[in-house]
C-alpha cells in the first residue's frame, strides 16, 4: 500500500485513508465476500473459499451489513414513492426448530424494490408429535415461554413507509388476509390507508396478484443459506439473520437486474440509481459523502 506525507502539515496517509474500508486488513476480499454471502454460501465456507479465518469473515459480514443499511438509507432519503406496496411474512428459525422467527418483507410492487425487512421471535405452532411437544415444554422450562413479536416486526417495517409516502397521497398495501396488517395500517396511516386483500390459498403463479412478493420470498430463500428449508446453515442469533437480509437487499436492489433480459435493477426502475451498480462501486461509497456520492451519478 503506497504511503505519502503532506509537506505542509507533516501528516502521513495512504491510499486507503480516505476509503470506506479504512483500517481493514485484506480489503480486496470485500466484494467477493459479498458475492458469496448472496450465493447461498455460509460464513465458514466463505472463509474456506477466500482462505482466511472464520473470524475475519464474521467481522467483514458485520461491516457489510452496516454499510448496506447506511447505503440504502442514503439512497431513499428524500424519495417519494407512489406504490402500491406488498407485504408478506416468511418463517425460519434460530438455533433449533423450537425457536422459530418471523421475517416480514415489504416491497414496492412494480419494481420489486425491497424496502424493509425485520426479524422477530415466534412460538412454535402447528402439528407436533407427543415427543416434540415434550421437547418444547422442556425447552420452555429451561429458557422460558417464547414470545411472539410478529406485531412489532410488521409495525417496524410499515413505519418505514412514513417518510416515503407523504400526505395526502394514499398508501396502498397488498397482502394476504391476515387481520393484523389492516389494523396496523390504519393505526399508522389513518384514513389514507388502502388495504387490498388476496387469498393466500390461491395458486402461486404469474396470475396471482401477490406474485411479486411471493417471488421475492422465493428468491431470498434461494440466495441466503440461512433461509433454506433444509440446510446445515442455521442462524444462531436472529440479529445475524437481519444482517444477512440487509446485505441481500443491497445486492438485490442496486446490483442485480430484475430480469436477465434487461439487466435493469429495481433501484433504476425506481429512479434512485442511474444504472446498475457493481458491488465494488457500492462498497467504495462512504457515508460522509452525502446524497450526491462521487461516481454513482454518472
Tens of pLDDT, residue by residue over 273-292, are: 888 899 998 898 887 766 65
Task: Give the predicted TM-score (pTM) of the model.
Answer: 0.88
User: What mean pLDDT, rounded, does the chain reach?
Assistant: 88
Phi, psi of 111 (to 5 degrees): -105, -10
Query: Do the beta carbons of residue 226 and residue 89 sit within 8 Å?
Result: no
Give the single-character DSSP code of 178.
Answer: -
Cα separation, 81 vs 202, in Å, equals: 28
Q: What percentage of the chain carries pLDDT values higher than 70? A: 96
Q: What is the pLDDT of residue 294?
A: 45
Q: What is the pLDDT of residue 116?
A: 94
Mean pLDDT of 20-40: 89
Q: Report whether pLDDT(15) > 80.
A: no
Q: What is the pLDDT of residue 174?
A: 94
Cα separation, 273 vs 45, in Å, equals: 32
Which residues of 199-271 form beta strands (DSSP E)? none
Cis omega (within 30 of 0) for bond into 168: yes
Cα separation, 72 vs 86, in Å, equals: 19
Mean pLDDT of 91-111: 90
Q: What percentage of the chain carries pLDDT values higher than 90? A: 52
Distance of CA 242 to the CA centre of its chain: 7
Q: Report whether pLDDT(298) > 60.
A: no
Which residues of 55-203 form beta strands (DSSP E)? 85-93, 100-108, 113-117, 120-121, 171-175, 193-197
Question: Residue 150 is placed in which grid cell?
Answer: 410478529
Amino acid at each position: 500500500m503506497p504511503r505519502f506525507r503532506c509537506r505542509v502539515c507533516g501528516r502521513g496517509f495512504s491510499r486507503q485513508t480516505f476509503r470506506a474500508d479504512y483500517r481493514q486488513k485484506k480489503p480486496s476480499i470485500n466484494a467477493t465476500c459479498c458475492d458469496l454471502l448472496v450465493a447461498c454460501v455460509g460464513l465458514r465456507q466463505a472463509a474456506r473459499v477466500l482462505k482466511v479465518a472464520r473470524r475475519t469473515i464474521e467481522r467483514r459480514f458485520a461491516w457489510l451489513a452496516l454499510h448496506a443499511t447506511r447505503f440504502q438509507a442514503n439512497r431513499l432519503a428524500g424519495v417519494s414513492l407512489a406504490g402500491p406496496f406488498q407485504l408478506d411474512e416468511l418463517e425460519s428459525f434460530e438455533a433449533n426448530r423450537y425457536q422459530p422467527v418471523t421475517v416480514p418483507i415489504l416491497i414496492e410492487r412494480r419494481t420489486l424494490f425491497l424496502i424493509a425487512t425485520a426479524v422477530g421471535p415466534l412460538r412454535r405452532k402447528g402439528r407436533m408429535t407427543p415427543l416434540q411437544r415434550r421437547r418444547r415444554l422442556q425447552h420452555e422450562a429451561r429458557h422460558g415461554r417464547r414470545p411472539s413479536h410478529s406485531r412489532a416486526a410488521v409495525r417496524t417495517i410499515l413505519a418505514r413507509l412514513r417518510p416515503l409516502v407523504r400526505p395526502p397521497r394514499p398508501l396502498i398495501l397488498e397482502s394476504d388476509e391476515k387481520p393484523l396488517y389492516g389494523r396496523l395500517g390504519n393505526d399508522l396511516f389513518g384514513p389514507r390507508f388502502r388495504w387490498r386483500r388476496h387469498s393466500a390459498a390461491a395458486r402461486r403463479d404469474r396470475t396471482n396478484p401477490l406474485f411479486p412478493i411471493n417471488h421475492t420470498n422465493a428468491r431470498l430463500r434461494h440466495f441466503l443459506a440461512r433461509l433454506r428449508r433444509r440446510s446445515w446453515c442455521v442462524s444462531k442469533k436472529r440479529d445475524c439473520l437481519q444482517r444477512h437480509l440487509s446485505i441481500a437487499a443491497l445486492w438485490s436492489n442496486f446490483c442485480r437486474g430484475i430480469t436477465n433480459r434487461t439487466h435493469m435493477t429495481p433501484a433504476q426502475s425506481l429512479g434512485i440509481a442511474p444504472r446498475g451498480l457493481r458491488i465494488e462501486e457500492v462498497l467504495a461509497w462512504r457515508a460522509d459523502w452525502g446524497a450526491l456520492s462521487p461516481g454513482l451519478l454518472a
